[in-house]
Amino acid sequence: MPFISVSDEVAKKSFTSVENKFITKYLPVLEPVAVKVYLYSLYLYQNGQTSFTLSDLAASLQLSEDEVKGYFEYLEELELVSVISAVPFEVKILDADNVYGTPKKLKAEKYSDFAKAVQDVLKGRMISPNEFREYFYLIEEYGFEQNALVMIINYCVNLKGDDVRSAYIKKVAKSFAEDGATTAKKVDEKLSAYTSSTPSLLKLFGAAGIKKQPDVDDDKLYKKWTEGMGFEESAIIAAAKLFKAKTVERIDGALEELYKNRKFDVKEIADYCNMKSSVYALTLEIAKNLGVYMQNPAPYIENYVNIWCNFGYSFESMKTIAAYCFRQGKNSFEDMNGLIRDLYNEGVVDDVSIDSYIKTRAAEDKLLKAILSTCGLSRKIIEWDRQSLSRWREWKFDDAMLFEAAKLSSGKSNPMAYMNGILSAWKSENIYTPDKIDSRRNTAPAQPAADGRVQKAEIERHYFDLRHAAEELAEKTLDRAMSDEIYGNLRRKLNSLTIQHAFAEIRDKDKAVDLADEIKVLEQKADQRLAELKIDKEDFSPRYKCNICNDTGYDKNGAPCKCLNEFLKTLK
């Protein structure tokens, strides 16, 4: 007969499972009330009591909420649970089979003098046995001298008052232990060093409007800012004011940003903040000029406008370029970025050169419009036209010769291509003025060489038109998708994350993995939205008429494509 058995009725009832390690390792030494809190928590989780709150648990065990929190903190010290949120109060039950949380039997009489000293410091309230046990563990686990821990507790009381929570005292004590300050001598040295920076912290807190007394953690940050990062007191105060930082954490974030951008002097910081505010307003103005709706300017500032500022473009020039892009049908930050990078590569950066560039392009478009009209065309100007004009200029043809060629090309099946062939023939024959054009000016050049050039121009134009049509359709499909607010936001976030992922691949492999997972989820959402819009993602890429040559006329080996041979037959 076993020592313990159960009736059939008991065997049929529901149960709460408890790890054997908890029973063998923890149960003999834990405080009885802590065992009640732990077991009741297990019961609540395993029986799906998700609506149960901290106050419900306290009422069930006839304890106060603070007492329950204290026992959870006690269990956390032993690594049986983890307090994952203070507000709302949330706890995660951990594996009982751990290494560091092995409970120890503490002899209270060993710490009787220490307990009396701590109670003398905390005169405003009685210290519970559970709280005393936490202090005993600090001595045992971190190697504090008893007098050293009394000094830390006294410091916390002076800072926070008699109602200081044990959790705060433990946090400060662990901070001291991390710095190796576990003896009375080292604690005194650390407190003396902290006291020396207290006036500066009080001055900073007053300037920032922070309503609390500085503590050791604040002192550690202050030393990081001054000794580690090189900021002077005046610069720190200026940063707090200009960034409107109302907490120490926000001041730290502001100084991290300034340190990253190498802004240390008060004037540099003020200029940076003014620029930052101005860049925000500029980004809104650029979006307005482009005709772009922005829900959140931050990614546009980071990925575009800040970069353009670093290139050396003035605010006015960027607004001018945005307006020019709108007139050219380039209605996105990405399109504007492409133009700015082209301008930058050509050395067109200052306001004068940009105005000159835009005026030149406007004059060229006006000329092209007139040439198209002379050719008998009423369509809009395309990039191939601009490339052709640039080529004709390189061939040293003036406007008069261009119009002469346009007149000869009028009525042809492909006037601009025919015009290109005529100009090519005149170039080879050194004809650069109208008076040198012979009597054949009213017909196409009859020389075989000229005919060959016209034919080549027609071939180039034919395939340009095919490629342009396919690429324009793909661009319009993408624009239609991006105009949808949901898909547009998803795509812009994906673009930003993709850039972050590329850097993380080099610097932080773990972050890269997390970003890859996030990108995967966003891509699924983006694909789902495209399906709702009835848009095929494959249509974002050009669908060329010929899949062999991608509408170039030549296959991957450079041989004429069969579609080119078919087109040549139509020319004959």
pLDDT per position as a tens digit, 553-571: 877 776 778 888 888 777 6
Q: Does residue 62 have a pLDDT over 80?
A: yes
Q: What band does 318 get if pLDDT is binned at 50, 70 and 90? A: very high
Lowest mean pLDDT among 51-60, 80-89, 350-359, 425-434: 80-89
pTM of the model: 0.39
Q: Is the pLDDT of residue 310 over 60?
A: yes
Average of per-residue pLDDT across 462-487 = 82
pLDDT single digits (tens) 361-401: 888 888 989 988 898 888 888 777 888 888 888 888 998 99
pLDDT for residue 178 is more than 60: yes
Name residues whose C-beta falls within 8 Å of residue 386's C-beta, 6 or more positions apart in sequence.
Answer: 364, 365, 368
Positive or negative: CA dihedral 93, 96, 99, 102 = positive
> Averaged over 333-359, what is the pLDDT?
88
- Answer yes or no: is pLDDT of 447 > 50: no
**Secondary structure (3-state) at 316:** helix
Q: Please tell me whether residue 82 adopts helix, strand or coil conformation.
A: strand
Q: Does residue 351 carry a pLDDT above 60? A: yes
What per-residue confidence (pLDDT) applies to 12?
60
The DSSP call for residue 458 is H
pLDDT of 458 higher than 80: no
Distance CA 186, CA 165 (A): 24
Contact at 8 Å (CB) between 254 and 236?
no
List own/partner pairs for 258-264 with CB under 8 A and 24 or more apart: 258/231, 259/229, 259/231, 264/230, 264/231, 264/232, 264/235
- For the ranges 29-33, 264-268, 431-435, 499-503, the lowest mean pLDDT is seen at 499-503
pLDDT value for 1: 42
- What is the distance in angstroms between the CA of the first residue and the CA of the last residue of the chain? 109
Domain 14-93 adopts which CATH fold? Arc Repressor Mutant, subunit A (1.10.10)
What percent of the chain is predicted at pLDDT more than 70? Answer: 90
In the predicted structure, residue 316 carries a pLDDT above the cut 70 = yes
pLDDT number for residue 107: 60
Computed over every residue of the chain, the mean pLDDT equals 82
Q: What is the pLDDT of residue 131?
A: 81
CA distance 44 to 41: 5
Average the pLDDT over 184-198 and give the result: 81
Angle between the 112-121 and 129-142 helix axes, to the nearest 10 degrees? 120
Give me the mean pLDDT over the 443-463 stretch: 58
Here the tokens at position 344 are 């930058």
